Structure 1
Amino acid sequence: MSDLALICGNWGTSNLRAFGVSAYGEIITDIRTGQGVSAITPDEQEAQWFDMVSDWQAEAPQAVHMLCGMVGSNLGWLETGYVDAPVTTDALANAIDWRKNGTSTLGIVPGIAGRSWLGEPERMRGEEVELIGWLSLTEKTDAALCLPGTHTKWVEVSDDAITRFNTAMTGEVFAALSTTTILQASVKQVYDEAAFEAGARLGLDPEGGDTLHRLFAARARILAGDLLPKHSEAFLSGLLIGRDIGPACEALSLSGEVVSIIGADALSQKFSQVLSLAGIDTATYSSETCVAKGLVALAKAGGVIT
């Protein structure tokens, strides 16, 4: 693995993905594990990391180690704090605390602090690297982006800087509603496109009231015979994604814009589908590709690789 320039880690609460990357941002090799930061103490994380990537380090001792995600939080190996928005690639790179660990150079990327479109405090940790990677990949300077997931992020980029962002607990709310409330499925679920779209249209409807006034439809339609019980989760998923997207379209003035979606393929496709129902064009990008590109861009901006 002589082409390996970076040994990277995207270390979240529940999972750790390590990957070896070339200086061009190409993923050469990777390892995945369920050893997220919540599974081991901060004092154990350093040993866990170097044990996990020891073979790569032996083959490429010159490679720089870079980590992002919750490993930089108060649950992680080294608390890195936050950089205040607006944030450029150079500003984030300059905030990385590069350290020597034996013969290795290691840096953990800080998060970003900002304000939402409601004026509320906002935080991101991990997504900032995806956004830096997207900037490097597309060379765009102004855009609206959606990063769907457990906590969906809506982000504005202006003049090459991450300027404003908003978090929606869409995925976590779906998981809670579908497992612990009256909306919990009573039969084995089968994904149904028509049920998903029906939920999405209800979620997008500007006259439908707030989210709490729409959720019971996932049960009432079953009782009325308008929705098969086995399709209830598809309907609920569409409804929540629609409720996520509707306010974002208004707050970010997305009409006529192309929204860039960064995420896992299946979830990105669902958000793209609902944005299309709202009349918004989209372009999708792989989360893994953007993370790799982002860490390379930050390492180059920080002067630790060329």
Structure 2
Amino acid sequence: MHTDTDALAPLAWIAVDWGSSNLRAWALDQRDQVIAETSSDKGMLSLKPDEYETELKRLVSPWLSDSDQIDVMVCGMAGARQGWLEAAYLPVPTALDKLSQGAVMPRLADNQLRVHLLPGLSQTRSAAHPFDVMRGEETQLAGLVAETSDFSGLACLPGTHAKWATLEAGTVMQFTTYLTGELYQLLANQSVLKHSVGNDDLNDPACRKAFITAVSEIYAAPETFSSRLFELRAQDLLDGRLPSGDARAAVLAARLSGLAIGLELTGACRMPAADGPVTLIGNQALCQRYHVALNSIGLQTRHLDGDIAVLAGLRLAHRALTA
């Protein structure tokens, strides 16, 4: 849905975050301030390469004049191999203020737009680190660097595939992906545990306690992960101390979430990082869950909103491209 476009005369450029399932676009003025925004459910999975330009023009045409050619900075899956045009991964170490150097420009039928697709990051296997890739999250990390150009420390981007990155002076040195969100969904919806778990709420004291306890237990003994998963089913059948009905399913879901995230932390929080809190980048609810988990093992956090981060990263790339 478009926002009010009455004040679009000062449009200077357009920022786009193009994901697998949807995309968001923002109109920005000469001061890099958002003056309008819109979104669509036409993510990469819904489009063929020759359909991207049409969808983009459909979304942003109310913002365009007949004369000016507008730069469009795009991050995310539009630059994937199966997207609009592949923007090859940049290998780490990568300075996040240099992302625009790897941008590619698709050929367009209409000259009103000048589109730049930003690259992702890649990591080849070494003795210390595995093969890995990210696409989209690097722009959120660039938003962190836009806020603090010499940032050093450990950043976490929770999600279906959570990313943990070690930064030194604004450069991504290495990163690791954990399939925690996807693993949780598979276990909750397609395993025997689907008969026991429901929807949790960490604002509920019983759920919060179950979550924290599970994080602590698995962090101390990650080798017990598989057995503790089945223990959830047995606990549902045998534990008379649990509440009944939906409340019971919520507590067990919180425990499952704690086990999954706690297992992630056993690897991620042993990564080398500068002193200081873990920076969580993403939506408030999921980052709050990670905040609780990290606090339970003695680590502090700070939070950067995901939308704010991606916009800041796109601004940084645009400034570098037009400097």
Measure how far apart 1:146 and its partner are: 0.3
Matched, 1:216 2:230: yes
The 1:99/1:43 distance shift into structure 2, 3 A limit, reads closer
Most deviating of 128-137 and 11-20: 11-20
Instruction: Report the counterpart of residue 195 of structure 1 in structure 2.
Output: 207
Whether 1:234 and 2:251 are equivalent positions in the alignment is no
Structure 1, residues 124-163: CA drift from partner, whole Å, max 9, x if none?
Answer: 0000100111111133421110000010000000122011
Is the 1:200–1:239 contact (alpha carbons within 8 Å) kept by the matching residues of 2? no
SS at match of 1:58: coil
2:24 corresponding residue in structure 1: 17
What does residue 149 of structure 1 align with? 159
Does residue 69 of structure 2 align to residue 37 of structure 1? no
TM-superposed deviation, 1:118: 4.8
User: Corresponding residue for 2:311?
Assistant: 292
Contact 1:85 1:162 in 2 (8 A): yes
Residues matched between the structures, number: 303
Structure 2 counterpart of 1:110, one-letter code: P
- Where 2:46 maps in the other structure, the secondary structure is coil
Over the aligned positions, Cα root-mean-square deviation in angstroms equals: 2.4
Q: What amino acid maps onto 2:144 in structure 1?
A: W
User: In 1, distance between residues paired with 2:205 and 2:164?
Assistant: 25
The 3-state SS of whatever aligns with 1:77 is coil
The alignment's TM-score, normalised by the length of structure 2, stands at 0.85
Gaps of 5+ in 2: 1-7, 243-247
Give the drift of 1:62. 4.7
Query: Which residue pairs with 2:35 in the alignment?
Result: 28
Residue correspondence of structure 1 range 112-261 to structure 2 within 5 A:
112-115=121-124, 118-185=128-195, 189-191=199-201, 192-205=204-217, 206-225=220-239, 226-227=241-242, 228-252=248-272, 257-261=276-280
Q: Cα 1:188–1:203, aligned 2, differ >3 Å: closer, same or farther?
A: closer
Matched with 1:92 is 99
Q: C-alpha separation between the residues in 2 aligned to 1:221 and 1:22?
A: 57
2:210 corresponds to which letter in structure 1?
A: A
Flag the 1:152–1:59 CA change in 2: closer, same or farther, 3 A: farther
Deviation at 1:183, TM superposition (A): 0.9
CA distance in structure 2 between the aligned counterparts of 1:151 and 1:135, rounded to whole angstroms: 22
**CA distance in 1 between partners of 2:226 and 2:144 (Å):** 35
Amino acid at match of 2:114: T
Percent identity of the aligned residues? 30
Q: Is the 8 A contact 2:28 2:36 kept in 1?
A: yes
